[in-house]
């Protein structure tokens, strides 16, 4: 069972279809290339390059102005996937890959996407509120400085991963490795120090994303997955026009997974079937091994002996 589980999870992390980490990085890269391509067209076409920001980039970035935000509500989501700076793009994707890889290895494929989105939403909320509430930041509203990039999302992922496994070590060649909590603490302190600077709104947004990552994992420890509704909505949207009829799960479970012939009344003995094993391995890939029930863990142990 151990070999099969490792193969299953290895496939997940290295690019299985539906891998949340690959999907998030792909969306960020595609939008980056699109924005850069339009910027290059402005430059090579001898158009006024100064009009690129108000006519194109600001339709993807998050404005601190309430009147602008109301007319462009999609920017609450689009900003967290959009980059125009090459360095910002590369750094965010490197850290998203590093922390996202560890998070998926520990929790499966279903947690990364919701944590990323929740971190971005928390960052957007506190970015707008901070700039509009504190008088010292009113100048940011006057100049309409927008927020762009996955910084708050990456902070959410990094803090969530660190909260889940603070002693997890990276760069093992350096004195046995650097604990995650040390690296994450440095990131948090840098953003905290920036609150007193010109980028106060963005720094607060990053800290809000970090707080959301911490809250997500703490809620998960108590048995409440804040991302379940996102997966349910995504599944509903994907199958909205699916003509295939849903299978009778109860009847399938009775016919495939249990053998009641020759047994005492109401006593069910689970058969070892490849389909059942694959279903459990899929659950491991999505949620992690520690989310299996005791019966499922026992089933895998018995299956490893029988098979």
CA angle at 98 for the pair 281 and 186, rounded to the nearest 5°: 135
Rounded to whole angstroms, the Cα distance separating 123 from 145 reads 15
The count of structural domains within the chain is 2
Instruction: Please tell me whether residues 210 and 267 are part of one structural domain.
Output: no
Q: Is residue 219 part of a domain?
A: yes
* Contact in structure between 181 and 162 (CB atoms under 8 Å): yes
Whether pLDDT at 255 is above 60: no
Instruction: Please tell me whether residues 172 and 275 are part of one structural domain.
Output: no
Segments forming the whole domain that contains residue 274: 256-306
Could you tell me the pTM of the whole model? 0.74
More confident residue, 52 or 25: 25
Instruction: Please tell me whether residues 199 and 268 are part of one structural domain.
Output: no
* Contact in structure between 181 and 113 (CB atoms under 8 Å): no
More confident residue, 46 or 180: 180
Q: Is residue 6 part of a domain?
A: no
CATH for 50: 1.20.1540.10
Q: What is the pLDDT of residues 64-94, one digit of tens each?
A: 888 889 999 999 999 999 999 999 999 999 9
Whether pLDDT at 263 is above 90: no
Angle between helices 180-194 and 151-164 (to 10 degrees): 140
Domain end (from 209, 228, 247)? 228
**DSSP letter (8 states) at residue 257:** I
More confident residue, 250 or 103: 103
Rounded to whole angstroms, the Cα distance separating 120 from 97 reads 17
State the Rg of the chain over Cα.
23
* Contact in structure between 116 and 153 (CB atoms under 8 Å): yes
Rounded to whole angstroms, the Cα distance separating 42 from 154 reads 30
- Output the average pLDDT for the chain: 79
How does 113-152 read in b/e, with b if 16+ C-beta sit within 10 Å? bbbbbbbbbbbbebbbebbbeeeebeebbeeebbbbbbbb
Of the candidates 248, 263, 281, 224, the one whose C-alpha atom is nearest the C-alpha of residue 8 is 281
Mean pLDDT of 195-202: 77
More confident residue, 171 or 57: 57
Domain end (from 192, 208, 228)? 228
Rounded to whole angstroms, the Cα distance separating 168 from 174 reads 14
Half-sphere exposure of residue 301: CA atoms within 13 angstroms, side-chain side: 8
Q: Is residue 299 part of a domain?
A: yes
Mean pLDDT of 183-212: 87
């Amino acid at each position: 069972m151990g070999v099969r589980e490792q193969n299953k999870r290895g496939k997940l992390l290295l690019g299985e279809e539906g891998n949340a980490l690959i999907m998030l990085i792909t969306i960020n890269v595609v939008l980056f290339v699109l924005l850069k391509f339009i910027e290059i067209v402005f430059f090579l076409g001898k158009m006024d390059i100064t009009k690129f920001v108000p006519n194109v980039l600001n339709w993807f970035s998050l404005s601190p102005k309430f009147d602008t935000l109301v007319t462009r509500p999609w920017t609450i989501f689009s900003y967290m996937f959009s980059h125009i700076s090459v360095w910002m793009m590369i750094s965010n994707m490197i850290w998203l890959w590093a922390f996202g890889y560890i998070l998926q290895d520990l929790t499966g494929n279903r947690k990364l996407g919701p944590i990323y989105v929740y971190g971005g939403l928390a960052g957007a909320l506190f970015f707008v509120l901070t700039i509009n509430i504190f008088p010292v930041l009113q100048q940011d509203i006057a100049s309409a400085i927008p927020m762009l990039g996955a910084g708050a999302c990456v902070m959410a992922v990094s803090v969530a991963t660190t909260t889940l496994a603070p002693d997890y070590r990276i760069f093992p060649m350096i004195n046995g490795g650097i604990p995650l909590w040390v690296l994450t603490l440095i990131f948090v302190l840098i953003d905290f120090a920036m609150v007193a600077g010109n980028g106060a709104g963005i720094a607060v947004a990053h800290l809000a994303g970090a707080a959301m990552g911490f809250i997500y994992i703490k809620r998960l420890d108590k048995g409440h997955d804040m991302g379940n509704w996102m997966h349910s909505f995504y599944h509903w949207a994907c199958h909205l026009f699916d003509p295939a009829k849903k299978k009778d799960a109860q009847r399938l479970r009775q016919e495939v997974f249990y053998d009641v012939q020759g047994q005492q009344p109401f006593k069910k003995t689970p058969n070892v079937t490849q389909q059942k094993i694959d279903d459990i391995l899929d659950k491991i890939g999505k949620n992690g091994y520690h989310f299996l029930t005791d019966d499922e863990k026992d089933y895998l142990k018995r299956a490893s002996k029988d098979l």
